[in-house]
């Protein structure tokens, strides 16, 4: 009974400042209370109303009765501090999501050097079923709410603060995460509304304060939503998961290509580039014997040139239970050379997360399978 009531309450971290202000007005609270609460939520990363010690106790109790306040529980963390680290979180309904903290990595996404980049999930599972991907292996469960997307940043920052100063709360309530890549579990553009809401909160000066140019959204190629994103005012960066330069190759590994074949995807990307005036990235995982033939390099380079896009080559990360492999380093280099010879802008990522199941969805899949097996 109580749980039902609690879930029906608005989630405080899914609300914009205007929405929160409207609710506080209804509760006849002065507007400075909104400022105080926002400071606690996004600067001080409070874990509940009780922590907001400059609010009267009766007010904190009253707010707890009007808003849902959720903080996910850490289930697992893989990797070493300073390197790529992967985190598995449990949501209120028991579902598991992942996010990945990436070490400083000069200029892969965004301008200049990416300092502290977090790879964020937008759905539990994924409906798009790309053949090589762990996130899609067991289908789609649900969309994340805006608050659950926002919480990933806050939860990681709390964890970082606890590592830096285990016994005390963070002295400086500044942002630790300054770059976001929306490349975790799920297809971000299939959860468009919640994603836009979360990013507006993370971008707002009263919220996360993370610049739109420091936020990269990755999509498997949902052409209509790419156009929708192009019409949004915010200047997010766009990365398109291409993984094949012809419909024949793409159809084999990405079912979404049957719905939005390359011609349609390219037209949507052209519109994005035209309206935003920004360079997009084409992500291309190299999978041995599937898409690494040099016959793909020429059409890939041509497509990138037409779109004025840069190509990020990523060696495939093995997924348990799937037979796909990354090509030998020499084959990766040969593919890169061929792109460069065809006058494309391209880089090859020397993957850092290979040893910790960095590809999205793997840690969750392993944990859920182990739980089912009673391990």
Question: Which residues in the 327-356 window bind ligand SF4 by CB under 6 A?
Answer: none
360 is an active site residue = yes
**129 in contact with ligand SF4 (CB under 6 A):** yes
CB 323 within 8 A of CB 293: no
- Nearest distance from C-beta of residue 204 to ligand SAH, angstroms: 24
Distance between CA atoms of residues 110 and 235, nearest Å: 11
Binding site for ligand SAH (CB under 6 A): 132-133, 183, 187-188, 218-220, 241, 243, 283, 285, 314, 316-317, 319, 359-360
Closer residue to ligand SAH, CB minimum distance, 129 or 173: 129
CB 283 within 8 A of CB 317: no
**255 in contact with ligand SF4 (CB under 6 A):** no
Interacting residues of 155 by C-beta distance below 8 A, sequence separation 6+: 71, 72, 74, 87, 89
77 is an active site residue = no
The residues with which 85 forms a beta bridge, in sequence order, are: 101
State whether the Cα torsion 26-31-36-42 is positive or negative: positive
Which partner, ligand SAH, ligand SF4, none, binds residue 359 by CB below 5 to 8 Å per kind? ligand SAH
- Nearest distance from C-beta of residue 336 to ligand SF4, angstroms: 22
Region from 39-47, 112-120, 128-136, 294-302 binding ligand SF4, contact rule CB under 6 A:
128-136
- Nearest distance from C-beta of residue 258 to ligand SF4, angstroms: 13
Q: Which of 5, 61, 98, 329 is catalytic?
A: 98
Number of Cβ within a 10 Å radius of residue 63 = 20
Question: Which residues in the 191-250 window bind ligand SF4 by CB under 6 A?
Answer: 220, 241
Closer residue to ligand SAH, CB minimum distance, 177 or 181: 181
First-last CA distance in the chain: 32
Choose among 265, 259, 272, 263: nearest CA to 241. 265
- Catalytic site positions: 98, 360
């Amino acid at each position: 009974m109580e749980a039902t009531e609690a879930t029906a309450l608005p989630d405080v971290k899914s609300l914009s400042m205007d929405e929160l202000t409207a609710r506080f007005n209804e509760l006849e609270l002065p507007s400075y209370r909104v400022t105080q609460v926002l400071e606690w939520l996004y600067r001080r990363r409070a874990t509940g109303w009780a922590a907001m010690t400059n609010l009267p106790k009766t007010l904190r109790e009253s707010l707890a009765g009007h808003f849902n306040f959720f903080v996910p529980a850490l289930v697992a963390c893989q990797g070493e501090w300073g390197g790529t680290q992967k985190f598995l979180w449990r949501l209120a309904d028991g579902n598991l999501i992942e996010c990945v903290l990436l070490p400083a990595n000069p200029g892969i996404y965004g301008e200049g050097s990416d300092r502290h980049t977090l790879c964020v999930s937008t759905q539990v599972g994924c409906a798009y079923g790309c053949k090589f991907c762990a996130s899609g292996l067991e289908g789609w469960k649900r969309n994340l709410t805006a608050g659950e997307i926002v919480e990933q940043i806050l939860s990681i920052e709390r964890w970082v603060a606890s590592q830096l100063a285990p016994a005390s709360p963070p002295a400086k309530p500044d942002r630790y995460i300054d770059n976001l890549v929306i490349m975790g579990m799920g297809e971000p553009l299939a959860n468009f509304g919640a994603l836009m809401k979360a990013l507006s909160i993370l971008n707002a000066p009263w919220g996360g304060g993370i610049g739109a140019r420091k936020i990269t959204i990755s999509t498997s190629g949902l052409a209509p939503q790419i156009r929708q994103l192009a019409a949004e005012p915010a200047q997010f960066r766009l990365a398109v998961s291409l993984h094949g330069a012809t419909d024949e190759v793409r159809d084999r590994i990405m079912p979404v290509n049957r719905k939005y074949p390359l011609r349609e995807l390219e037209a949507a990307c052209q519109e994005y580039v035209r309206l935003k005036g920004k360079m997009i990235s084409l992500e291309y995982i190299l999978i041995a014997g599937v898409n690494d033939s040099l016959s793909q390099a020429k059409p890939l380079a041509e497509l990138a040139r037409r779109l004025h896009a840069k190509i990020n080559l990523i060696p495939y990360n093995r997924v348990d239970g799937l037979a796909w492999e990354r090509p030998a380093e020499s084959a990766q280099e040969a593919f890169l050379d061929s792109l460069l010879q065809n006058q494309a802008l391209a880089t090859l990522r020397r993957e850092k997360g290979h040893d910790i199941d960095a590809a999205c969805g793997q840690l969750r899949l392993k944990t859920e399978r182990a739980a089912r097996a009673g391990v």
